[in-house]
Structures are given as C-alpha cells and as structure tokens.
Amino acid sequence: MARNRYDMDEVLEDSFDISQLKRLAGYVSPYKGKMVSVIFLMLSASALTMTVPIFFQRIMDIYIPQKDMRKIIMVSLLTLAVASYSAIAMRFKIKTMSVIGQSIIHAIRTDIFNHLQELPFSYYDDRPHGKIQVRVVNYVNSLSDLLSNGIVNTVTDLCNLFFIIIFMLICDARLTLVCLCGLPVLALVIIFIKKKQRRAWQIQSNKQSNLNAYIAESINGIRVTQSFVRENENNQIFNNLSGNYRKAWMKAIKFNFTMGPSVDMISAVTTSFIYVLGIGWILAPNATLTVGVLIAFTAYIGRFWAPINTLAGFYNSLLTAISYLERIFETIDEPVLVKDAEGAFEMPTVKGEVCFKNVCFSYEEGHRILDNINFTAKPGQTYAFVGPTGAGKSTIVNLICRFYNVDSGQILIDGTDIANVTIHSLRTQMGIMMQDSFIFSGTIMDNIRYGNREATDDQVIRAAKTVCAHDFISQMENGYYTEVNERGSRLSAGQRQLISFARALLADPKILILDEATSSIDTETEILLQKGLNELLKGRTSFIIAHRLSTIKNADCILYVDKGGILERGTHEELLEQKGAYYDLYISQYDFLA
C-alpha cells in the first residue's frame, strides 16, 4: 500500500464480499452448540407465545358467550406461564450470547494483535499507528452487537416468521395474503438503499480511522505542538476531522433510520387494509369472519412485523459490521513479508563473523537506499559506521537483524545466509539498541529485563553497572523498582539511553548493535561508559553508529557511508591518513570542539 496519513482515506472495497461473513462464521463455530441451545430455547418460547392470540380468540368466541369462568381463568394462568417461560428464556439468551459475543471479540482481537506482532517494520512505516489501533479496538468492538444479538435474533426471528405465517394461515388465509403483500415493497426499499448504505458505512469507518490517527499523532507529538504553539492549528485540524466523521456518521445512520420507518409504514398500510377487509367480512350478510379471528389475526400482524423490524435492524448492523470486518481481515491478511523461509533452520550458536555480500536494498520500489554493500567483520571485531544524515547507516544495521529483506545480495553470519535461518534464533543472539530508546510502562527492572526475561535481578544490576546506569537508578525513589511511564517520560534522554543500553547487553549477545547509543549521554559518563564497554565488547562482534567520533576511534574498522555506499574504510588512523571524507568530518568536529 502507498504511504497513508491521517487525512488520507484508505481504499474502499467495491463489492460486498460474502467471504468475510464466512470467515466470521469460523470464529462463531466453536460456540455452535451453545447457540443452538439458545435458539432452541428462544424458539420454544416464541412457539408458546404464538398460542396466546388463539387463547384470546377462544375466550372471545367461545368462553365469554358460554360464561365459562373456569376456562377463562385456566387460559389466563396458561398465558402467565407462557410469559414466565419467555422471560426466563430471554434472560438465558442475553447472558449466554453476551458471553459468546465477547469471547468471539476476544478471539478476533487476539488474532489481529498476534499478527501485528509479526508484521515487519515496513508495515508500520506505511501507515499512521492510530489507524492500526482503531482496528484492534474500535472496529472489533463494533461487532459486539452483531455477535451478541444479531446472529441468534436472526435465526429465531426467521423461524418465528415461519411459525407466525402458519398461525396466520390457520386464522385466515385471505388476510395472510394481504399481509404478505407488504414484503415485496420492503424488498424494493432495501434494494434501493443497499449500495448507498454500505458505502456510507465504509466512509464512516474511514473517517473514524482518520480521526483516530490524528489523535494518536497529536498525543505523541504534544511536546512539539506546545513548543511551537501549534495548539490552535491542531484544534482546527481536529475539528475538521471530527466534523467529517460526524457528517459521515450522520449520513450512514440516516440509511439505518430509513429501514425502521419503512417497515412501520408498510405494516400500518397493510394493517389498515386488513381491518377494512376484515370488518367488511364480519359485517357482510353471510359473515365469513368472526370478531375473535380478526382480533387474533391483528395480534399476529404485530408479531409478524416485529421480527421483520429486527431483521431490518440486523441487516443494518450487518452492513456496518462488514465495513469493519473488511478492515479487520485486511489487517489479519496483511502478508508477513519478513518471515521464516520454507525449511528455515535454527541459527547455530553464533561465533560472530558478519559478512555483507553485494547487498542492495530499497524501502520503496525504485528508490534504492543501499547499493552494493560489501564488508566482513570477523568475530570479536568492532565495526563503526559514520557518515552524513540519511546516508544509510541505520538501514545497514537493521538489515543485520533482518528487520527488512534485502533486494539482492546476501548477509552471512558465520557463513550462513540469515535469510535461511529462523528469525527468532537469529534475533535472540543479538543485542540491539536502536536510535529510539523505547521505554515501556513498568519498573526499571522490567525494562532492562526486556532484553532477557530469564535474567536474575543480580544480572540486571550488573548490566546496569556496566553501562553506568546503576548510580542514577539507585538514586531514584524505589531504585530498580521505580515505575516509569510508557516512553519513559519521567527519565532524561540520556537515562533512557543507558537503560536501553543495559537492556541490549543483558541478552549477552554475540553480536551487538548500538545505533547512536551514546548521543544523549554527557561526555563524562561516556568516558566511564567507554571503559565498561571496551571490556564488554571483547569477544563480541559489534556494530556502532555514532556521530560523535570520539566514541568509535578505537573501532577495528570504520566505514564511512555516503549515499547508500561505502566511501571509505579503515581504522581511525588509516582514514585520517587518507585525508578524505572521514578526515574532513574529524577535523570539523575537532574545530568545533576547539
């Protein structure tokens, strides 16, 4: 998909795709048994309530003229028993279907989330994160009504309709025909609005997604917003998006509102006809209808249109749900582009040789970022990447972890192409510290242990000591058990870096990747850190990206990356001797510091 942003609608499916409902049925099927018992209970209840008008007809036509009080009381008690049974059945239905509905929602949400965990970086590069969240939370929630009530109601209502028509036919076939004449009219209404209604709900889901994307972006960027005093502009954008969402929702709901009144209208017209005809037949000299039958029949008319009304409601929620299901299944179906190859094997214990062989890479087709990268780092060596912003340094190290697939060429670790090993076995042998040192909500201990869930407290503390994080952590109110917020907003940028540094080390990796690991750390701490680091780097192959050249002066090899290629390579001294780009960079930093 092309890159998307908060004010760009996503592409809408044109045709109604029945396969989405089939997939939904897959989630529903484990609860088939329970649903059948609910349906059975509901049907038995409605079959019993269906007899009530017949009781009334008998009271009117037989027991009242006969003044048979005993039978009248008996029939009344029977009616009470039927009503109680219906109430119990209804309670059972609501309880069971709520549990089933929520279980299905939980299963769908789990599937999306599990899939999201596997999707490669490229998926997240391409769309606002708010648009992903809205699928996992809001869209899935919106299926609740359909799953909790819709399915069972539809089956029971359809069966009810069938029973009602039979009872109506038993009462009077002519009046039944008049009543059924309303159905083709309703079908015409549905055909007329169906397409527009579906599109309106799709547009509504798009606008909701856009709004969510903007809210998520605004919250993430709140510091920048307030620093640049952009609150008013942001409110304006929000108002526009929220207004668009409101308009789209109003338009969509308008179609839903069309259904109920249409059913009521058709029901009113047919009922009037039935009264006119029925009374005519009662009053005719050779009466072909009794008052009792007409009263019983009119009671059935109400029951005939009630399920049709609910079915119309179900149809509305079905169209709404489909517009969400499209998005939900689209996410679940999103191909995992970076995945284990067929026959992938476990990466043997890594010794640490990393070799790039003619590696080419592009994030977007036709826009090459890395062009023919070649180098071999021997086990235990430290390789450093320097070069201008946007040259491709982070991209190179991202490829070592196989966060993206290469376009061509090979990345070999100890002679094994990383494309042929399982991603899990590859990444568990690496320690990665990214530019964006993300801190999760929880304790500092949890955050460092993220690098190795098995690590003991002592190991965590040792890692923190190595990267000089121990002192500041110990000074915090609860030391290692101090709670930090998501993104570590209670910590300084340097402290966040040190914590992620410790996290990367805790995995005791054979290959260590440090992307701008020390950019926010003060020079004094950096000097201390360097000592610990030198010890730590022993026996590990490490790749370090640093703009501050003091950090990488001792590297075994420095690669100067520019425009996706390696322009210069060698040790610090060799590169200085070459008097090329590295030399210029070094001199400029030196001049700057002098």
Ligand X SMILES: Nc1ncnc2c1ncn2[C@@H]1O[C@H](COP(=O)(O)OP(=O)(O)OP(=O)(O)O)[C@@H](O)[C@H]1O
Q: Which stretch binds ligand X (CB under 6 A): 309-317, 320-328, 382-390, 425-433?
A: 382-390
Q: Which is nearer to ligand X, 302 or 390 (CB)?
A: 390
| Cα 6–Cα 11–Cα 15 angle in degrees, nearest 5 | 150
Q: What crossing angle do the helices spanning 291-333 and 231-283 adopt, rounded to 10°?
A: 150
Residue 274 corresponds to which tokens in the numbers above?
């039935």
271 to 300, contacts with ligand X by CB under 6 A?
none
Q: Is 392 in the site for ligand X (CB under 6 A)?
A: yes
Taking the complex as a whole, the smallest distance from the CB of residue 411 to ligand X amounts, in Å, to: 15
Q: Which is nearer to ligand X, 198 or 393 (CB)?
A: 393
Taking the complex as a whole, the smallest distance from the CB of residue 127 to ligand X amounts, in Å, to: 12
Q: Which stretch binds ligand X (CB under 6 A): 45-53, 110-118, 197-205, 390-398?
A: 390-398
Taking the complex as a whole, the smallest distance from the CB of residue 403 to ligand X amounts, in Å, to: 10
Sign of CA dihedral 253, 255, 258, 263: negative
Please answer whether residues 244 and 252 qualify as being in contact, where contact means their C-beta atoms are separated by less than 8 angstroms: no
If phi > 0 it is left, if psi is from -120 to 50 it is alpha, else beta; for residue 566 that is beta
Q: Which is nearer to ligand X, 364 or 522 (CB)?
A: 364
State how far the Cα of 179 lies from the Cα of 165, in Å rounded to an integer: 10
Q: How far is CA 562 from CA 516, 573, 583, in A?
A: 17, 20, 14
Q: Is 393 in the site for ligand X (CB under 6 A)?
A: yes
Q: Which is nearer to ligand X, 194 or 368 (CB)?
A: 368
Burial class (CB in 10 A: 0-12, 13-18, 19+), 34: middle
Q: Which is nearer to ligand X, 194 or 547 (CB)?
A: 547
Taking the complex as a whole, the smallest distance from the CB of residue 530 to ligand X amounts, in Å, to: 20
Residue 319 corresponds to which tokens in the numbers above?
């169209």
Choose which of 144, 234, 372, 394 interacts with ligand X (CB under 6 A).
394
Beta bridge partners of 376: 355
Q: Which stretch binds ligand X (CB under 6 A): 45-53, 88-96, 384-392, 499-507?
A: 384-392
Site string for ligand X, 112-151 (x = CB under 6 A): -------------x--------------------------
Choose which of 143, 213, 391, 445 interacts with ligand X (CB under 6 A).
391
Q: Is 363 in the site for ligand X (CB under 6 A)?
A: yes
Q: Which is nearer to ligand X, 243 or 390 (CB)?
A: 390
Site string for ligand X, 144-183 (x = CB under 6 A): ----------------------------------------
Dihedral angle computed from the Cα positions of residues 264, 266, 270 and 272, in that order, rounded to the nearest 10 degrees: 60
Burial class (CB in 10 A: 0-12, 13-18, 19+), 531: exposed
Q: Is 389 in the site for ligand X (CB under 6 A)?
A: yes
Choose which of 395, 497, 500, 551 interacts with ligand X (CB under 6 A).
395
State how far the Cα of 87 lies from the Cα of 49, in Å rounded to an integer: 11
Q: Which is nearer to ligand X, 125 or 233 (CB)?
A: 125
Q: Which stretch binds ligand X (CB under 6 A): 160-168, 389-397, 488-496, 525-533?
A: 389-397
Choose which of 168, 369, 473, 555 interacts with ligand X (CB under 6 A).
369
Taking the complex as a whole, the smallest distance from the CB of residue 211 to ligand X amounts, in Å, to: 25
Q: Are strands 483-484 and 442-443 parallel, antiparallel or unpaired?
A: antiparallel
Q: Which stretch binds ligand X (CB under 6 A): 152-160, 310-318, 363-371, 518-526?
A: 363-371
Cα atoms found within 13 Å of the Cα of residue 41, Cβ hemisphere only: 20
Q: Which is nearer to ligand X, 56 or 363 (CB)?
A: 363
Q: Which is nearer to ligand X, 363 or 438 (CB)?
A: 363
Please answer whether residues 439 and 488 qualify as being in contact, where contact means their C-beta atoms are separated by less than 8 angstroms: yes
Please answer whether residues 175 and 168 qualify as being in contact, where contact means their C-beta atoms are separated by less than 8 angstroms: yes
Q: Which is nearer to ligand X, 125 or 577 (CB)?
A: 125
Q: Are strands 354-364 and 367-377 parallel, antiparallel or unpaired?
A: antiparallel
Please answer whether residues 140 and 17 qualify as being in contact, where contact means their C-beta atoms are separated by less than 8 angstroms: no
Q: What's the length of the chain?
A: 594
Q: How far is CA 506 from CA 397, 419, 482, in A?
A: 19, 26, 19
Q: Which stretch binds ligand X (CB under 6 A): 147-155, 195-203, 335-343, 385-393?
A: 385-393
374 CA to centre of own chain: 39
Chain residues binding ligand X by CB under 6 A are: 125, 363-364, 369, 387, 389-395
